[in-house]
Amino acid sequence: MRKVWFVTLVWCSILVLLVNWGSAWAQVDDERVQDVTTIEAVGDTVRVNLRSDGTQGNNDSANPYVSADGRFVAFASDADNLVSGDSNGATDIFVRDRQTNQTWRVSVSTDNAQGNFASFAPAISDNGRYVAFCSFATNLVANDTNNVVDVFLYDRDAGTTTLVSRSTFGVVGNDVSCKPDANLQDVRGPDISADGRYIVFESFASDLVGNDNNNASDIFRYDRDTGSMIRISVDSNGVEANGSSFQPSISAEGLRIAFASNASNLVTGDGNGYTDVFVHNLSTNNTRRVSVHSNGSEGNGQSYEPEISDDGLFVVFVSFANNLVSGDDNNFLDVFIRDRDADETYLVSVSDDGDQPNVFAESMEPSVSENGRFVVFQSYADNLAPGETNTDTRDVFVRDRQAGTTAYASVSSGGQIGNQSSREPVISADGYYIVFSSKADNLVANDTNDDRDIFSHQIQTDVEPPPPTPTVTLTVNFMAGAPGSVFAFSGSGYGQNQPVAIYVNNVNVGIATADFSGNIAFRLDSNSGTQQGMYIVRAENSNGRASAPISLDDAVPVRPTSGSGPTFSIPAGVAYTYQIYLPSIFR
């Protein structure tokens, strides 16, 4: 799920932002200290921004985004020790696999060149394969000559990087994407559909689609499969917005997109003069405003920071409006949820007893689970849940709408509330994990870097543990063939992108690399003079080993080339002395 990163710098120019990028996070954290975590103080809390060997990052990390099941976490970091060869001195995008404890850098080009400027605000697909992000870098793809922030997509399986912020015809955007809004002063990066096919983002470019004449930022959706680009921030008749639109969030299937806009022409009757939250449904081409009272009356204050649930039925957002629900009298920023099916709006940032946050204690940065049950947010309030000890800091809370409870999420595995501010909470679609950034050093053991870190906290006690590593397999297309045959092997369960050693009768013949799903494929070649007999072929790595027997025998036909992957040769003189005949198979 998506998250917002607040920046204290005023956008003056791209050059100024580049120069000051490294200090932006420090200024955010110095504003007030931070904290975060999960429900009822149960479940484990682990640190995410680590090197694959467990070494902690040596600089700040932020912008977390979590996959649907909580396994993969994408984040941005200034640390240069999370992977080898990080020497660009810029913020990079990383992905952490919480099941295998591996960390990869993904803000790289197709030929694995590191970005020459900062990258930020990632979004990751459900299976962790696709990562969208914003970047100042000009060397991630060829012909990136616009010298502004662009949106990119990295395919972790294919190892390719694609420019997203371009037209259907491949024209590079002529203005910035992912630009901080002048009023809200926040960076909202791209969002991505569950399968990674669709990416939505904000852009000021006027050449991404035809007839873009509003001179304002718009919301666009890129189709990875077709390369097509469409504009989302339009009314139900396709008329462009007469104001800026920003902060997109996409449903799992990619058809419903929520966004904030100060346009007044997206729906009829928009006369409040404030930023509102809208949902555009591509299956009906209908645009509806959701930052409204249950009776449909419009809000009397700014509303923004939307996130739509994976099923598209719920939208959480923040608002200064005090007329969206009755009894809203704290006169500050609150978190709301809109049930689009029931057309009901509810206040989320409340205590178990329904009390609102203390006066002037803002609540913001909401994230919602797939079915709308859990909403996480950060707040300065000290009256939303018992146990507050570090007043005047940001804490992360989780609201269980089904149980009617609110609890701290910024806690350690033992339930201790973070001793500094936490923020940027995101919840996995399944509602089991909350990921957040924090300056706290008491959430996990041995947190000594004094930097902003990324944490994951399990919020439900009945959550199932990550699935075990699958049993490895190895199969062959033919068990026997005459010398000169080529045997095709395939296997599974060897781990994502992991090397697999191939042996023939205990003699190593090479390495096959598993794909994104842990599958391998290779061929074993024999020439006409290869010794007849049995050969035991074995594939092995840290995930396990599996074997498959083959036989070279003049009594059966030559098996022609088939299969895929690297080709290895059967070693000379290593066959067993006996042979296997399977006449019933080869008739």
**Tens-place pLDDT, residues 409-457:** 999 998 899 999 999 999 999 899 999 999 999 999 999 999 999 999 9
pLDDT at 526: 87
Whether 293 contacts 324, CB under 8 Å: yes
Residue 33 has pLDDT above 50, yes or no: no
553 or 15, higher pLDDT:
553
What is the token pair recorded at 121? 């605000």
**Tens-place pLDDT, residues 327-370:** 999 889 999 999 999 999 999 999 999 989 886 789 999 999 99
Task: Report the relative pairing of strands 473-476 and 486-492 from DSSP bridges.
Answer: antiparallel
pLDDT at 359: 63
Lowest mean pLDDT among 168-177, 437-446, 577-586: 577-586
Amino acid identity, position 436: F
Closest Cα partner for 192 from 221, 163, 231, 169?
221
What is the pTM assigned to this prediction? Answer: 0.78
Listed by start position, the domains of the chain span 5-22+34-458, 473-569
What's the CATH superfamily of 5-22+34-458? TolB, C-terminal domain (2.120.10.30)
Q: Which residues of 462-492 are buried (b: 16+ CB within 10 A; e: fewer)?
A: ebeeeeeeeebbbebebbbbbbbbbbbbbbb
Q: Which residues of 305-333 are buried (b: 16+ CB within 10 A; e: fewer)?
A: bbbbbbbbbbbbbbbbbbebbeebebebb
pLDDT at 294: 97
The mean pLDDT value for 132-145 works out to 96
pLDDT at 534: 84
Whole-number mean pLDDT of the chain? Answer: 87
The mean pLDDT value for 36-60 works out to 79
Query: CATH number of the domain at 473-569, please?
Result: 2.60.40.1930
Confidence of residue 8 (pLDDT cuts 50, 70, 90): very low
* Strongest mean pLDDT among 173-182, 305-314, 386-395: 305-314
Q: Please classify residue 378 by burial: count the beta carbons closer than 10 Å to its beta carbon, then call 0-12 exposed, 13-18 middle and 19+ buried.
A: buried
Lowest mean pLDDT among 40-54, 224-238, 300-314, 493-507: 40-54
Residue 17 has pLDDT above 80, yes or no: no
pLDDT at 462: 55
**Tens-place pLDDT, residues 64-118:** 999 999 999 999 999 999 999 999 999 999 999 999 999 999 999 999 999 999 9
Handedness of CA 243, 249, 251, 253 (dihedral sign): positive
Q: Please classify residue 359 by burial: count the beta carbons closer than 10 Å to its beta carbon, then call 0-12 exposed, 13-18 middle and 19+ buried.
A: exposed
